[in-house]
């Protein structure tokens, strides 16, 4: 059923501090030029991003609703009122694509429930880029988010993901808090089978980008420092 609602644009952002239009298409700039009302995780970084994309846009006309881990579900019920009043809105991720490993999925769900048209824009997703560059099965894969901190739970999770990969021929992806990256590499080498392939994709799209796929046995002899560098880990056991 047609209505006069505004559209909800899902606006991707950079994965790092490189110039926005080096990694984003011009369509993102055109939407940001048009949209004044946003749902974001952090107002300060959102304003900074918008300013870099469109330096001529007046910051004073921008309106923000904050969606993060502290936002209560009942607070979001009115987040799309501007769309219902005929205005376009932008859902802006802190990094990468809204709704993917991102709280924006709840807003997209709300938009569908209210018959508001959802328009995804093209942009970088670290998950997809890591999978693309891993050389592993891109027909069947799963993103598992963060793995447990507890040592025994972490080991069990790594073994479970390796088993799933082997039994279902399914690539498994996960992430770790950047300051624990070096530790997870140690855990991977100590836990997984020597011939299991592991891809580490770090600083994706940045000048310091590092992407490498090797077996666990090969990683044991590699020297790499990923401390405090955003990374995606990809595993597959043949």
Q: What is the CA radius of gyration of the chain?
A: 20
Q: What are phi and psi of 32, to 5 degrees?
A: -65, -35
Pairing of strands 197-202, 231-236: antiparallel
Q: What is the pLDDT of residue 1?
A: 55
- DSSP conformational letter for 178: G
The answer to whether the CB of 68 falls within 8 A of the CB of 93 is no
pLDDT in tens, 15-67: 999 999 999 999 999 999 999 999 999 999 999 999 999 999 999 999 999 99
User: With bands split at pLDDT 50, 70 and 90, how would you rate the model's confidence at 69?
Assistant: confident
Q: Name the helix (H) or strand (E) containing 67.
A: none
Nearest to 173, CA basis, from 217, 149, 141: 141
* % of the chain exceeding 90 in pLDDT: 94
Q: Which residue has the tokens 């001529």?
A: 56
pLDDT of amino acid 23? 94
**Alpha-carbon span 85 to 196, nearest angstrom:** 53
Average pLDDT over residues 69-75: 89
Cα dist from 161 to 60, 132, 158, 187, whole Å: 48, 19, 5, 14
Q: What is the DSSP letter of 40?
A: E
What is the tens place of the pLDDT at every residue in 131-180? 999 999 999 999 999 999 999 999 999 999 999 999 999 999 999 999 99
Structure confidence at residue 2 as a pLDDT band (50, 70, 90) = confident
238 pLDDT band, cuts 50/70/90, is very high
Separation between Cα atoms, residue 121 and residue 27, nearest integer Å: 8
Q: What is the pLDDT of residues 97-122, one digit of tens each?
A: 999 988 899 999 999 999 999 999 99
């Amino acid at each position: 059923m047609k209505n006069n609602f505004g559209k909800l644009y899902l606006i991707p952002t950079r994965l790092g501090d490189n110039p926005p239009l080096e990694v984003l298409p011009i369509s993102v700039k055109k939407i940001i030029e048009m949209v004044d009302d946003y749902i974001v995780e952090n107002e300060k970084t959102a304003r900074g991003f918008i300013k870099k994309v469109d330096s001529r846009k007046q910051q004073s006309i921008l309106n923000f609703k904050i969606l993060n881990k502290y936002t209560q579900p009942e607070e979001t019920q009115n987040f799309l009122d501007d769309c219902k009043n005929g205005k376009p809105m932008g859902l802006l991720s802190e990094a990468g694509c809204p709704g993917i490993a991102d709280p924006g999925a709840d807003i997209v769900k709300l938009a569908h429930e209210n018959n508001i048209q959802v328009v995804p824009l093209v942009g970088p997703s670290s998950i997809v880029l890591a999978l693309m560059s891993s050389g592993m099965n891109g027909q069947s894969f799963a993103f598992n988010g963060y793995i447990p901190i507890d040592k025994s739970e972490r080991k069990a999770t790594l073994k479970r993901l390796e088993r799933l990969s082997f039994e279902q021929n399914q690539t498994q992806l996960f992430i770790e808090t950047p300051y624990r990256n070096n530790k997870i590499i140690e855990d991977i080498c100590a836990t997984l089978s020597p011939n299991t392939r592991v891809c580490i994709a770090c600083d994706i799209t940045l000048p310091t980008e590092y992407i490498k796929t090797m077996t666990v046995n090969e990683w044991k002899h590699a020297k790499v420092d990923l401390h405090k560098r955003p990374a995606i880990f990809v595993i597959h056991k043949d």
